Amino acid sequence: MQSIEVTGLSDVGIAEDFSFAEVTLATRDGSSLRCRFQPKSLDMIVAQLAQILTHIRNHTASTDGYTTPPVTLASGVTAAAPAEGTHVVISITGANGVMFHFAMDAEIAARLRSEIEAAETSVREHPTQTRQ
């Protein structure tokens, strides 16, 4: 099977009825590869690629010698309990405009709140010693 090195997106189109998306991928040799995705397939592929990227980032050593993923600055965050009330939903918007949604049990949300409060206190008390 031939391997094609993709270097970026050169064009994106979404059907008016949102039934599919077409993406043109730019390749190392200057050619293009046009792909059509159904929403369910695109969601699954993007999630799988995100897992692969996270795995790579988590195993990349920083210049200081410790393993750390690059950090994406958040430009907004909200938390809500949907009408069903079974989970707390956290929505985080990155500075790059991408929004992520996470559903978690109330117990995990409480632990997250506690960890955020501790991190916030640490940043206030020792702003130059906090490692991102």
pLDDT digits (tens, 9 = 90+) for 106-128: 999 999 999 999 999 988 888 66
What sign results for the dihedral spanned by CA atoms 116, 94, 47, 106? positive
| 131/118 Cα distance (integer angstroms) | 14
Kind plus residue range of the DSSP H or E element containing 40: helix 39-58
Q: Residue 132 — very low, low, confident or very high, per pLDDT cuts 50/70/90?
A: very low
Q: Residue 65 — very low, low, confident or very high, per pLDDT cuts 50/70/90?
A: low
Provide the whole-model pTM: 0.53
> pLDDT value at position 67?
59
Give the domain ranges of the chain: 6-58, 74-125
Q: Residue 19 — very low, low, confident or very high, per pLDDT cuts 50/70/90?
A: very high
